Amino acid sequence: MAPYPSTLDVPHELVEHVSWLIYARRCEQGTRWRKLNCFRQALLALAHLRKNDTLAQLGAGFGISEATAWRYVDETVDVLAAWAPGLREALAGRGEDNFVILDGTLIPTDRIAADEPYYSQKHKKHGMNVQVIAAPDGTPLWFSRALPGRTHDLTAARAHGVIESCPTRQILVLADRAYQGAGATVRTPYYRHHELPERYQQYNRDHARLRAPGERAFAQLKTWRLLRRARCSTNRIGRIIAAVHTLLTCEYRGWKRLSDS
């Protein structure tokens, strides 16, 4: 393979931030020497997540073997995933005066037709079901672990404890029709709205307007091209999503080191 100059479309501050987290992990483990320094390892991992280049291509570009590139990326994903907020942390401080947006998406994967649990009838492709809780402005507060693609959104939300946690905290949840019947604090649109009185149609329009920013959370998630079509094991997708969520959180916090917060 022939290497060529390229640019990674992420801020330099983000690479530095990730390199500090890697440095802290190396100090914790007592690592003495690595083929790549912390900054180069961070750059390698971010390039893999952002551009979805294969590890063989990245290894050749960074002058390391494919196996070493895999270990570096896997270690970096673990470091970042450890900082992703849990459901309880995401809902902390939100009560009766707040609302959140609940939605689900499919992370496409390379799968064969025999992998029936991963095939989504809704999307007509193989993948993994991921749930998100977003703030009213679309800022992602929490991403779930990944479940097989054929899992219904409401089933997934119940499995992750979302439906149980939000009513307990009296948090109003706006969701689409897939979550109908979820619970008292979950608001979904009315069916057959064209046949309903005007006040119900207006409710559906207002509901859609308030819920629309939730799509931004998945749009931001999938700017990391690895999640547009994952070639890795389905067991790793949940950790990768948590790692990307940490990277998104870093941007919202203005690159402040998570260890200082």
The count of domains in the chain is 2
Residue 237 lies in a domain: no
Show the domain range for 67. 12-82
* Residues 196 and 215 placed together within one structural domain of the fold: yes
Residue 198 lies in a domain: yes
* Residues 154 and 31 placed together within one structural domain of the fold: no
**Residue 129 pLDDT:** 95
DSSP assignment of the chain, as one string? ---------S-HHHHHHHHHHHHHHHHHHT----SS-HHHHHHHHHHHHHH---HHHHHHHHTS-HHHHHHHHHHHHHHHHTTS--HHHHHTT--TT-EEEEEEEEEEB---TT-GGGEETTTTEEEEEEEEEE-TTS-EEEEPPPEETTS-HHHHHHHTTHHHHHHHTT-EEE--GGGTTS-TTEE-PPSSGGGS-HHHHHHHHHHHHHHGGGHHHHHHHTTSGGGTSB-S-HHHHHHHHHHHHHHHHHHHTTT--GGG-
* Residues 108 and 53 placed together within one structural domain of the fold: no
* Residues 211 and 112 placed together within one structural domain of the fold: yes
pLDDT tens-digit profile, the chain (261 residues): 677 778 889 999 999 999 999 999 999 988 888 899 999 999 999 999 999 999 999 999 999 999 999 999 999 999 999 999 999 888 887 766 678 999 999 999 886 665 778 888 888 889 999 999 999 999 999 999 999 999 999 999 999 999 888 766 678 899 999 998 887 789 999 887 667 788 888 888 999 999 999 999 999 999 999 999 988 888 899 999 999 999 998 876 654 444 444
**Residue 222 pLDDT:** 92
Tokens of 189: 């649109």
* Residues 225 and 101 placed together within one structural domain of the fold: yes
Residue 142 lies in a domain: yes
Residue at a domain's end among 82, 110, 126: 82
Give the integer Cα–Cα distance in Å for 208 and 176: 8
* Residues 95 and 209 placed together within one structural domain of the fold: yes
* Residues 148 and 181 placed together within one structural domain of the fold: yes
* Residues 138 and 187 placed together within one structural domain of the fold: yes
Give the integer Cα–Cα distance in Å for 242 and 124: 25
**Residue 78 pLDDT:** 96
* Residues 141 and 200 placed together within one structural domain of the fold: yes
* Residues 124 and 96 placed together within one structural domain of the fold: yes
**Residue 234 pLDDT:** 86
Residue 174 lies in a domain: yes
**Residue 114 pLDDT:** 59
Residue 91 lies in a domain: yes
* Residues 98 and 221 placed together within one structural domain of the fold: yes
Residue 137 lies in a domain: yes
Tokens of 245: 């969520």
* Residues 174 and 48 placed together within one structural domain of the fold: no
Angle, vertex CA 99, rays to CA 95 and CA 102, nearest 5: 120
